[in-house]
Structure 1
Amino acid sequence: MHKALSSEVPSRRYVQDLSHRVWVLQGQTLVMVPRKERMVPITVTLMPCKHLETLEKDRGMPMYLGLLEPSCCLCCKKDGEQPALQLEKRGIKTLHDSGEPVKPFLFYHSENGRTSTFESVAFPGWFIAACSKGDCPLFMTQELGTTYVTDFELIGEHRGQSGAWADFSSQQQSVSGWNVVTLTHSRRTGRAATVGPRFQEWTSG
């Protein structure tokens, strides 16, 4: 997989867990939901970091993660006392072509069989995660593969014969127990920073 993702063109994937819940964009928040008929996950783009010599070895391939539409990238930054997963309007190709690693936007991609984990480069030991069942925003956690889901499958884009992958990303649906519209909504549970990714305008300041 790493070889397939190591190119000058962003690779496109859908992301799901072993229970067939998929990543979607609801409002301005990345959410994991059970896959249903005529639903299409958000298309995730991936590009490797060029500057491997400056990063830790044996933790996985440092990757930039973005969304195809809207064009933005995932990053991990401090929110209060803990790291939080966020979305910012940055081009993945721009990050890939940077003269040095842009660490808040990098995640160590490690594979174990058919699944992958994504560990923050800026905050080692913190992984992209989701709650174990139902609908919930993605967040960062230190509980690797225990309380929360941290193992994900990367699936190539496709559409079934019956058109099962419909445009779900544009639908605005509520998520039980979470405010997916208010950008400042957050909740902390144990060691997990359960802050819904916030869609932010990026400025040079």
Structure 2
Amino acid sequence: MAINPQVQSLPSYHLIRDSQQMVWVLKGNWLIAVPFGSNVEPVALSLIACTDTDFYSTGKGTPYYLGIKEQNLCLCGTEIQGQPTLQLKEENIMNLYGDVKGQEPFLFFHSKEGSTFAFQSVSCPGWFIATSSMGGQPVTLTKEGGKTERKH
């Protein structure tokens, strides 16, 4: 589904659940994937499309800012010591959306692959948001086709 970034002005909210029923929870400034259960309060992910049309010509999907609902925290793809890393940074998603120039570290290409969705870091091409096969581990970036991590 293509989204016209000029029309969307409010984020949409989504609960993330992977194929093994892992959901995301906030622990400090980390997103952790844990098994869904009655005592678990998963975070809702805020998504809003980037209005900078320069990012739409890549053919990799729609570029989105990803934040945590009701928090001034946004997901950010960056390299730390040469390793692509997923971080939460204190940032208001609507401030990012309001920038005329897209803020690349905060952008993720959103695409559908079969029955799942994938989020690829714009600033770390080929790296996708993923959860570990073990609960209680941080949500990370992984190369496509990682054996122990699942894309979202």
Residue number in structure 2 paired with 1:158 = none
Question: Is 2:22–2:33's contact at 8 Å kept on the other side of the alignment?
Answer: yes
CA 1:143 to 1:136, structure 2 compared with 1: closer, same or farther past 3 Å? same
Structure 1 residue 145: Cα displacement: 5.2
Q: How many residues align?
A: 151
Structure 1 residue 115: Cα displacement: 1.3
Matches within 5 A, 1:80-159: 80-144=81-145, 146-150=147-151, 152=152
Please list every run of 5 or more consecutive structure 2 residues that lacks an aligned counterpart in the other structure: none
Structure 1 residue 82: Cα displacement: 1.0
Question: Is 2:44–2:69's contact at 8 Å kept on the other side of the alignment?
Answer: yes
RMSD of the TM alignment (CA)? Answer: 2.0
Matches within 5 A, 1:18-97: 18-97=19-98
Secondary structure of the corresponding residue to residue 128 of structure 1: strand
Question: Is 1:47–1:63's contact at 8 Å kept on the other side of the alignment?
Answer: yes
Identical pairs, percent? 36
Relative CO higher for 1 or 2, CA cutoff 8 Å, sep ≥ 6? 1
User: Which has the larger strand fraction?
Assistant: 2
CA 1:57 to 1:143, structure 2 compared with 1: closer, same or farther past 3 Å? closer
User: Between Structure 1 and Structure 2, whose CA radius of gyration is higher?
Assistant: 1
Runs of 4+ in 1 over 4 A off after TM superposition: 1-6
Q: With structure 2 as the length reference, what TM-score do the two structures score?
A: 0.89
Secondary structure of the corresponding residue to residue 130 of structure 1: strand
Structure 1 residue 99: Cα displacement: 1.3
Structure 1 residue 2: Cα displacement: 5.0
- Give the Cα separation in 2 of the matches to 1:10 and 1:111: 19
Question: Is 1:44–1:65's contact at 8 Å kept on the other side of the alignment?
Answer: yes
Question: Is 1:2–1:61's contact at 8 Å kept on the other side of the alignment?
Answer: yes
Structure 1 residue 105: Cα displacement: 0.2
Please list every run of 5 or more consecutive structure 1 residues that lacks an aligned counterpart in the other structure: 153-205
- Give the Cα separation in 2 of the matches to 1:116 and 1:45: 15
